Amino acid sequence: MKDRQQDTYFEALAAELERPISQGQARLVLTSSGAGEGKSTIAAGLARALARPGLRSVLLVDADLVKPTVHELFGLSHRRGLSELMKEVYRCDLQREDPEQFGVGDWLEILWTQARTGRLIVREGEERFTLVLVRGALCSLYSQGSRERERIGDRLYASGRINGREHETAARLQQESYKPFGEILVDLGVLPRAELETVLQEQLSENLRHLLTLQRPVCQFQDTVEAYRPAANGRGELWNETPALDLRVRTRMGDFMRQPYLRSQIPSYVLDTPLPNLKVLPSGNDPLDLADPGWARTIESLFTRLGRAFDVVLVDGPPVAIGSPATALAAAAHGVLMVVKAGATDIRVVQHARTALVGSGANLLGVVMNQVRLERDPVYAYYGAYRRPA
């Protein structure tokens, strides 16, 4: 393609993507049905076209760790990039790091990606919060210290929902079984589950609000295979549990929790380009198998974080194949574009790749035709750069 034809091609493709991007589908993966179809060139050209107006910030991520080429297209180094970021930041040994550099949000995000089970103790002055995690998911939050009066048992007793005898009986059973206090009341028939849920949500909201007000908390994580067995000075703790807690904290409240470590570390892996609003996260030079399911949470967490920092995140993924991480990357994005080399790819291979992407839960936005003879059909050059899948 000549330069002007290339510009027209990428401008047309960028124009077609305006609608999904404006609707919040701004994390996009480019892949192909096989090698040599030009997806990296398409990714670089599309990134430039999207960033050229200067009205949006664009990040191009090279996630093809087997044959990375994005750094070459921009004349950059790939000595340090995506693979190092994922290992050094998200797989850091929290026990050996300086705890003061981490905020509560840092701890929760990293522990979630590492699927750790245990208790995160958060202290500041006389306040102490215990956050219980199971395989990285936050399943319980309870407070101690000066806020001990706000525990679930005391709240139920103070509001008249349970009497003194019921309170004492449930507390004794909770110490013996380590089962959540509220669940014991429900099992005993003392408290309807609907009332328990109401009180739990009230208490949870208050604890979360107070947790967010802490200025310089000290955090410590305790690994355990018995995360559901809370302990506090030898007595059973009256704690709450709700399945929606993890999702609520990670999605709705994550931006409000202090994350000084992640917010300072991740930008150091991103490189500048001649376009001020276009950045590149190169592949890196440390071998990493993104197809390993153990990296799925890290990919999801990183894509989400990058999506909050940039208006558009374009990911140059590897081709779709057996054992390829393309489907894992696609599942963590808002949408996928599949690059097909015009007149050179077996349609059955393309169909197989499409089936694999859709089967993984990916949102296939369309197919990008590459190496079309534009000089023979200028109309197709403009309108044929993008086609939605059947």
pLDDT in tens, 284-315: 999 899 999 999 999 999 999 999 999 999 99
**Average pLDDT for residues 229-253, to the nearest whole number?**
53
Domains of the chain: 3-88+266-387 (3.40.50.300), 104-258 (no CATH)
What's the pLDDT at 29? 95
Query: Is 294:328 a contact under the CB 8 Å cutoff?
Result: no
Q: Look at 14-23, 130-139, 228-237 and tell me which has the smallest mean pLDDT.
A: 228-237
- Cβ neighbors of 327 (< 8 A, separation 6 or more) are 320, 356, 357, 359, 360, 362
Closest CA relative to residue 82, chosen from 106, 59, 58, 65: 65
What's the pLDDT at 106? 92
Half-sphere exposure of 360 (CA within 13 A, CB side): 28
What are the CA-CA distances from residue 123 to residues 130, 210, 219, 309 (Å)?
A: 9, 12, 6, 30
Residue type, 276: P
Tell me the pLDDT tens digit for each residue of 39-78: 999 999 999 999 987 778 999 999 999 999 999 999 999 9
Rounded CA separation 340/333 (Å)? 20
In what side-by-side order are the strands of the sheet with 118-124? 137-145, 127-134, 118-124, 218-223
The DSSP code for 318 is: P
Mean residue pLDDT across the chain: 82
Locus of tokens 């499409």: 354
Sign of CA dihedral 256, 258, 264, 265: negative
Higher-confidence position of 313 and 247 = 313
Helix (H) or strand (E) holding 354: helix 347-359
Tell me the pLDDT tens digit for each residue of 336-357: 998 888 766 667 878 888 888 8
Tell me the pLDDT tens digit for each residue of 187-229: 999 888 888 888 777 777 778 888 888 888 888 898 886 544 4
Closest CA relative to residue 280, chosen from 94, 72, 37: 72
What's the pLDDT at 294? 92
**Average pLDDT for residues 371-385, to the nearest whole number?**
48
